[in-house]
């Protein structure tokens, strides 16, 4: 970014000239490296603090740190999404064309996060010879959807912010998986977090219905504002989340209450279970 360009210099945290390519790309890169920093910080702190973490395989460590990174991004999504949904008067008045400086900043940082997610997912799949089609499709559509904001500066931000708010469940899924791996799925806190997580997945479903309502009630304006190609991406992403991903993930999380097992690493569970408390089955107490 050309720092000599006074129009590009911020006077406040969100006061950038977002019509400039260098500003938009700078914030995408900033988001990428910020969340990469969260990933690396999680690894360093977990290696120092957690006995359980140090016993993990490389694949489990990567998954642990990705969970933590997603949880932090979920907090960002909570704040920005709920502000647009319930408080910001500009988005309350216009759900199709409205933009705000803070929403520009938030969406571009989120683009950097989903860029990191796609890189991490594909590298992990390549290195560990795995493939989760649901996760790949979800993060690809999320990044391409937010990429439309970089290419089309006239796009409204309300629907992308609602898409980010769909990440409301990630902090609870992060807590659930970390405690499950540490052997604390028998605790009241884990079970309460699990029920909260299931509730949030139902809230995700309600939020997708709201997004459908916004699209259908403003169909021509949404298509005109987003452009046909970007609208098709939005339509496919919203349809996949509404019909496939939300019901599937809600079912999995509900079953996890009844049977608290880690389906991502079923073989590692048996191995770790030999030396500690695993998924609520008491063998001997395992420290976090």
pLDDT in tens, 74-132: 999 999 999 999 999 999 999 999 999 999 999 999 999 999 999 988 888 788 777 77
Q: Is 82 exposed, middle or buried (0-12, 13-18, 19+ CB in 10 A)?
A: middle
Residue 72 to residue 170: CA distance in whole angstroms: 8
Is residue 10 helix, strand or coil? coil
Phi, psi of 128 (to 5 degrees): -100, 5
Kindly state the average pLDDT of the residues 156-179.
93
Q: Sketch the domain layout of the chain as residue ranges.
A: 21-273
Q: Tell me the whole-structure pTM to 2 decimals.
A: 0.85
Residue 248 has pLDDT above 70, yes or no: yes
List, for residues 147-164, the tens digit of each pLDDT value: 888 888 899 999 999 999
CA distances from 154 to 42, 100, 143, 222, 224 (A): 37, 12, 18, 11, 10
pLDDT of 267 reads 58
pLDDT (0 to 100) of residue 245: 86
Average pLDDT over the chain reads: 84
């Amino acid at each position: 970014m050309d720092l000599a360009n006074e129009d590009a210099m911020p006077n406040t945290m969100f006061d950038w000239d977002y019509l400039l390519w260098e500003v938009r790309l700078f914030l995408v890169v900033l988001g990428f490296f910020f969340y990469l920093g969260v990933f690396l910080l999680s690894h360093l702190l977990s290696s120092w603090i957690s006995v359980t973490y140090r016993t993990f395989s490389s694949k489990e460590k990567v998954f642990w740190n990705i969970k933590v990174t997603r949880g932090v991004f979920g907090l960002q999504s909570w704040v920005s999404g709920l502000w647009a949904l319930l408080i910001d008067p500009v988005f309350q008045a216009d759900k199709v064309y409205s933009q705000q400086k803070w929403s520009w900043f938030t969406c571009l940082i989120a683009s950097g996060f989903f860029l990191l997610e796609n890189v991490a997912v594909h590298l992990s799949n390549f290195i560990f010879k795995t493939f989760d089609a649901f996760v790949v499709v979800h993060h690809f559509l999320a990044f391409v959807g937010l990429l439309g904001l970089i290419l089309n500066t006239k796009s409204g931000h309300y629907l992308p912010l609602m898409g980010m708010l769909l990440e409301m469940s990630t902090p609870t899924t992060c807590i659930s998986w970390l405690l499950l791996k540490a052997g604390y799925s028998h605790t009241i806190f884990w079970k309460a977090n699990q029920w909260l997580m299931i509730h949030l997945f139902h809230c995700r479903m309600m939020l997708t219905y709201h997004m459908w309502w916004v699209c259908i009630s403003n169909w021509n304006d949404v298509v005109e504002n987003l452009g046909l190609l970007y609208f098709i991406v939005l339509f496919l992403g919203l349809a996949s989340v509404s019909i496939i991903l939300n019901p599937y993930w809600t079912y999995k999380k509900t079953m996890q209450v009844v049977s608290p097992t880690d389906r991502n690493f079923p073989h590692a569970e048996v191995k770790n279970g030999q030396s500690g408390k695993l998924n609520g089955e008491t063998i001997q107490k395992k420290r976090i």
